[in-house]
Amino acid sequence: MHKGRLEAFTDGVFAIIITIMVLELRAPVGADFSALRPLLPVFLSYVLSFVYVAIYWNNHHHMFQVTPHISGGILWANLHLLFWLSLFPFVTDWAGKNHFATWPTVLYGCILFMASVAYWILQNVIIKHHGEGSLLKKAVGRDAKGKMSMVVYGIAIASAFIHVVIAQALYCAIALLWLMPDRRIERVQAPSHAKPN
């Protein structure tokens, strides 16, 4: 099966998700500087979601570089990931408009959690299709980073009922964790010193 078209379609969906989120940032009614102030939480939730979608695109890009073959299962696991990512504009808008109130913060976390689960499923479907000796398996190893993210999303969701700032801080922390250069896939691609971790 043809990898190029899956990547092209996925890139299209990523490009649209990352861009239509900005449509929720509507021009304020007044022309004063103060008219921008109510937009600040909407803008901040846009920035956070932009970074998350960018991280997913980046990781997806890397993962498919070490994915030589595509199966029907991979296609559907990929569409499943895109489904959860497609809900980002909705939760971004709800969270932004309500200044990250409790329930919007919880739902935002749930979508982050479901997207990370969907990514983990996709990763496992690809590894299963290519075998335990595959480059992707070597690169992700036991995938401590991915598993930890899922656990932290769970903690963040629970902590939103105590104080939303804890949840927000955890969402930002995980984004920063993934922004740090991740050499796992570059390492296995370099022919001489590829080894499982």
Nearest approach, Cβ of 172 to a second copy (angstroms)? 16
Angle at 153 between CA 17 and CA 170, to 5 degrees: 90
Query: Distance between CA 137 and CA 92 in Å, rounded?
Result: 33
Structure tokens at 144: 């401590």
Nearest approach, Cβ of 134 to a second copy (angstroms)? 18
Nearer to a second copy, 23 or 133 (CB): 23
Nearest approach, Cβ of 143 to a second copy (angstroms)? 19
Angle at 92 between CA 59 and CA 94, to 5 degrees: 155
Binding site for a second copy (CB under 8 A): 1-2, 5-9, 11-20, 22-28, 31-33, 35-36, 47, 50, 54, 57-58, 61, 65, 72-73, 75-76, 79, 82-83, 86-87, 89-90, 93-94, 97-98, 101-104, 107, 179, 181-182, 186
Nearest approach, Cβ of 118 to a second copy (angstroms)? 13
Handedness of CA 182, 184, 187, 188 (dihedral sign): negative
Nearer to a second copy, 56 or 120 (CB): 56
Nearer to a second copy, 43 or 146 (CB): 43
10 Å CB burial of residue 79 (0-12, 13-18, 19+) is middle
Nearest approach, Cβ of 122 to a second copy (angstroms)? 14
In angstroms, the first-to-last Cα distance of the chain is: 30
Nearer to a second copy, 56 or 151 (CB): 56
| C-beta separation of 81 from 61 below 8 A | no
Nearer to a second copy, 3 or 124 (CB): 3
* 32 DSSP 8-state letter: S
Query: Distance between CA 169 and CA 187 in Å, rounded?
Result: 31
Nearer to a second copy, 12 or 151 (CB): 12
Angle at 109 between CA 108 and CA 115, to 5 degrees: 95
Nearest approach, Cβ of 19 to a second copy (angstroms)? 4
